[in-house]
Amino acid sequence: MSQDSSSEVFDVAVIGGGVIGCAVARKFALEGARVVMLEKALDILDGASKGNSAILHTGFDAPPGSLELACIKAGYAEYLDIRERLNLPLVRAGALVLAWTEEQEAALPGLMEQARTNGITDIQPLTAAEALKLEPELAGTLRAAFRVPREHLIDPWSAPHAYLLQAIENGAVLRRDCEVLGGIYDGVAWRLETSRGGVQARLVVNAAGLYGDIVDERLTGRRDFHIKPRKGQFVVFDKTAARLTTHILLPVPSKTTKGIVVCRTAYGNLLVGPTAEEQEDRSVAELVPGALAALRRRGEEILPALAGEEVTAIYAGLRPATEYKDYRIRAHEGKAYITVGGIRSTGLSSALGVARYVQALAVKLGLPAQPLAEPVWPRLPALTDEGQRDWRAAGNAGIVCHCELVTRREVEAAMEGPLAPQTLAGLKRRTRVTMGRCQGFYCSAELAAMTRDRLAVAMTETADG
């Protein structure tokens, strides 16, 4: 925003532009609040939301009675409800929970019971033969399985982009490269001190993800939980691998992790991951060759035909786990402050539900809600083959990224508007450029030319300076 708004008192300041922050900002904006989002990185989705498995979970395996389950179910329902208006994809894949050992087989009835307790009543137990009939490429050593028909695949980036874009188009303000350093609540409003000056807001929502406990300490002086980053590495295979399975292939979960998943992506690739590795560092998720090779091997154990497929991409993300199992969402009495913490691995599914829950907490804290009569509904560009891709349309100005069939017009459109990226990573998340099998072999030069002087971090320095 060009005008100096430091004197403006916002209704809500949302700290953190991850999927949760984006959904929360949207909810408050739709409820008539004047919202400011404060993101410390150059772009949104730069922390925990950067790398996940892109599944829209039903909550069948969430802890019964948990806040996490309630938010997943509410988030799932709302996603289905709004996705067409926002032009967000949905691949109705369904999931198979696969048992490969006697021990895992013995765990299936309990998992199915848990699913039913969680209100997911359409699960179907399958013999190995039945499962292999559904997915003939599965290894023959399968012992048993059950099917969860309504586990789906979505796009991990267009969803949060759509949430924040809708917030912005309904009056919210985004400040990037804006880290919250401290703040004081004077009984009426917060005066936040940020790396880009002061911001005032009647209510603060801490959705800082991997930095949630640090932001709590900076603003409230205490930490109710400690973030214990849990790294997840992934291997993504080329699009020809996607024919190897229709379903999301889930393992029997262990106590600490949902385990290694094999599934298609909304973009038509196949991914294997994540690992679950605890670490101290909150910002760097290192890829480890041995772990990546092990993921590849695990993928080949589940789908033997994967052995002949090429790896397109590798990535690692950090989940903001805490010492607690459930989400840490709480309103701080007398402080007009809500912490949304510990959204460890289900945030993409639960975000819209979390946003509803947080908004209800805000009403209890006294923030008035006045839903917009006619909110704006932006439509996101279709990036998955389910939608009408721009390369099929007239006037697309030609393809710049051949692997992902991204057109010049799509890149130009992404470079404009209130959510224009400031980094190449941001441009990738908005358009999928360089995300394909060649990883920039063909399109780097053209992209560098197209984005010259338009990104905060340039793709290259120019030869003459």
Partner 1 sequence: MADSTPQSCDVAIVGGGPAGLAAAVALRKAGVASVVVLEREAQAGGIPRHCGHYPFGMREFNRVLRGPDYAARLVARALKSGVDIRTSVTVTALNPGGRLGLSTPEGAAELAAKRVLLCTGVREKSRAARLIGGEKPGGVLSTGALQGLVYLNHQKPFSRPVVLGTELVSFSALLTCRHMGIRPVAMVEPASRVTARWPTRLLPKLLRIPLLLDTGISAIHGGSKVTGVDLVTPDGGTRHIDCDGVIVTGAFLPEASLLRASHLAVDPASGGPDIDQFGRCSDPAYFAAGNLLRAVETAGWSWAEGRRAGNTIAHDLKSSLPEPREGLRLVMASDALKYAVPQRVAYPAGSPRSTTKIQLRVTRPVEGRLGLRIDGTELWSKPLSAMPERRLTVPVSMLPDGRKGTAEFFVREQAK
393 touches partner 1 (CB under 8 A):
yes
Selected from 117, 127, 141, 441, the binder of partner 1 by CB under 8 A is 441
Paired with 49 in beta bridges are none
Could you give the CA distance from residue 24 to residue 31 in angstroms, rounded to a whole number? 11
Q: How does DSSP assign 291-353, residue by residue? A: HHHHHHHHHHHHSGGGGGPPEEEEEEEEEEE-SSSS-EEEEETTTTEEEEE---S-HHHHHHH
Q: How far is the CB of 157 from partner 1 (least distance, A)?
A: 16
| CA distances to 6, 73, 180, 187, 358 from 184, in Å | 15, 35, 12, 9, 21
CB of 445 to partner 1, least distance (A): 3
Q: How many CB atoms lie within 10 A of CB 278?
A: 11
CB of 426 to partner 1, least distance (A): 11
Please say whether the beta carbons of 379 and 87 come within 8 A: yes
Decide whether 293 or 363 has the Cβ nearer to partner 1.
Answer: 293
Q: Is 461 in the site for partner 1 (CB under 8 A)?
A: yes
Q: How far is the CB of 290 from partner 1 (least distance, A)?
A: 8
Shortest separation between residue 166's beta carbon and partner 1, angstroms = 29
- Cβ 147 vs Cβ 138: under 8 Å: no
Task: Assess whether the previous peptide bond of 320 is cis (omega < 30° from 0).
Answer: no
Taking CB under 8 A as the criterion, the residue among 289, 334, 366, 371 binding partner 1 is 289
For residue 257, report the phi and psi dihedrals to the nearest 5 degrees: -150, 155
CB under 8 A: which stretch of 10-18, 159-167, 327-335, 388-396 binds partner 1? 388-396
Considering only residues 301 to 360 of the shown chain, the ones binding partner 1 according to CB under 8 A are: 308, 310-315
Binding of residue 281 to partner 1 (CB under 8 A): no
- Beta carbon nearer to partner 1, 159 or 459: 459
Q: Which residues pair with 174 in a beta bridge?
A: 37
Minimum distance from residue 242 beta carbon to partner 1 (Å): 10
349: its two tokens: 């599914």
If one asks whether residue 287 binds partner 1 (CB under 8 A), the answer comes out as yes
Nearer to partner 1 by C-beta: 369 or 438? 438
Residues that bind partner 1 (CB under 8 A): 235-236, 238-240, 284-289, 292-293, 296, 308, 310-315, 391-399, 402-403, 405, 423-424, 437-442, 444-446, 448-449, 457, 459-464
